[in-house]
């Protein structure tokens, strides 16, 4: 009798997965950036401490990139195919997002919105997660 | 691309997980190939053919 699913936890290479660790790190980056921003505005720290604090969001950001690189390194060919589709999604979705924000700004909505590096990075991270989820759903 | 992977796997009495382990890919990859949602790369197709001791054309055939 052939079963359709494997009961072995160690079967084959793992597919590219959005693990809770990756999601947590994706959320930790903007959370740290917001916290550091609030901290730097509220207290007048010495310059060395301000520099140190300002660069703190790089830690969760770097950990996110490392976790993603590890996920790619351990993914099989379908996992890498999913990643390629996800990157394609990020590219076109970002263009769509830029156009939408521009059109809304022309209409008087979101007129004060400015694309900063932080907003761009968060948008890219969010779109990468959405893209990976959508692409992996297709092959489930 | 059409394939006979499911029936060939069943003939060997292997689960998707067993085949995935033998080919060093995920079970999802085997499932996606069997349901024809994903076409494997040429190296993986050769690996499958070698595992089943047959030619690639005996497993995979063009949809048209």
The span from the CA of A129 to the CA of A137, in Å, is 12
The span from the CA of B40 to the CA of B46, in Å, is 10
Average pLDDT of span A75-95: 93
Residue pairs spanning A and B at CB distance below 8 A = 76
Comparing A11-15, A48-52, A124-128, A134-138, which segment has the lowest mean pLDDT? A11-15
pLDDT in the model for residue A21: 79
With both helix axes pointing from N to C terminus, report the angle between A77-106 and A117-138 in degrees, rounded to the nearest 10. Answer: 130
CB B45 within 8 A of CB B60: yes
Q: Is A12 on the interface with B (CB under 8 A)?
A: yes
Neighbours of A80 (CB within 10 A): 14
Instruction: Tell me which range, A3-7, A131-135, B46-50, is most confidently predicted by mean pLDDT.
Output: B46-50
Average pLDDT of span B21-25: 95
Closest by CA to A60, choosing from A36, A87, A41, is A36
pLDDT in the model for residue A16: 56
Q: What is the ipTM of this complex?
A: 0.85
Token pair recorded at residue B11: 């003939």
pTM, to two decimals:
0.73
Please say if the pLDDT value at position B63 is more than 80: no
The span from the CA of B34 to the CA of B28, in Å, is 10
B35 SS3 class = coil
pLDDT digits (tens, 9 = 90+) for A3-30: 344 334 344 555 556 677 777 888 888 8
The span from the CA of A95 to the CA of A93, in Å, is 5
The span from the CA of A56 to the CA of A63, in Å, is 12
Residues 83-102 of A with CB under 8 A from B: none
* Residue A116 CA, distance from chain mean position: 16
Q: Which of B13, B25, B41 sits opposite A12 (nearest CB)?
A: B25
Compute CA distances A108 → A112, A119, B2, B9, B33, whole Å.
9, 20, 53, 61, 50
Residues in B touching A13 (Cβ below 8 Å): 20, 24-26
Average pLDDT of span B13-35: 95
The span from the CA of A68 to the CA of A124, in Å, is 13
What percent of chain A has a predicted confidence (pLDDT) above 90?
Answer: 34
The span from the CA of B17 to the CA of B49, in Å, is 17
Which residues is A77 bridged to in the sheet?
Answer: none
pLDDT in the model for residue A11: 47
pLDDT in the model for residue A45: 87
pLDDT in the model for residue A12: 52
Token pair recorded at residue A68: 């993603």
CB A56 within 8 A of CB A30: no
Residues in B touching A3 (Cβ below 8 Å): 15
Q: Is A57 on the interface with B (CB under 8 A)?
A: no
Residues in B touching A17 (Cβ below 8 Å): none
Alpha carbon of A75: minimum distance to chain B alpha carbons (Å):
8
* Partner-chain contact B13 A2, CB within 8 Å: yes
């Amino acid at each position: 009798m052939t079963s359709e699913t494997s009961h072995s936890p160690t079967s084959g290479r793992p597919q590219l997965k959005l693990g809770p660790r990756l999601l947590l790190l994706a959320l930790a980056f903007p959370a740290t950036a917001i916290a550091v921003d609030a901290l730097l505005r509220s207290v007048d720290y010495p310059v060395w401490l301000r520099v140190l604090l300002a660069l703190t969001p790089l830690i969760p950001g770097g950990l996110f990139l490392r976790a993603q690189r590890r996920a790619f390194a351990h993914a099989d060919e379908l996992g890498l195919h999913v990643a390629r589709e996800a990157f394609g999604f990020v590219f076109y979705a970002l263009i769509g997002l830029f156009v939408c924000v521009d059109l809304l700004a022309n209409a008087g909505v979101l007129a004060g919105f400015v694309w900063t590096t932080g907003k761009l990075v968060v948008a890219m991270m969010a779109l990468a997660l959405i893209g990976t989820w959508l692409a992996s759903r297709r092959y489930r | 691309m059409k394939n006979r992977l499911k029936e060939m796997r069943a003939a060997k009495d292997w689960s998707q997980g067993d085949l995935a382990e033998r080919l060093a890919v995920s079970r999802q990859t085997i499932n996606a190939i069997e349901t024809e949602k994903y076409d494997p790369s040429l190296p993986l197709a050769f690996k499958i053919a070698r595992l089943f001791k047959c030619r690639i054309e005996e497993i995979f055939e063009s949809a048209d």
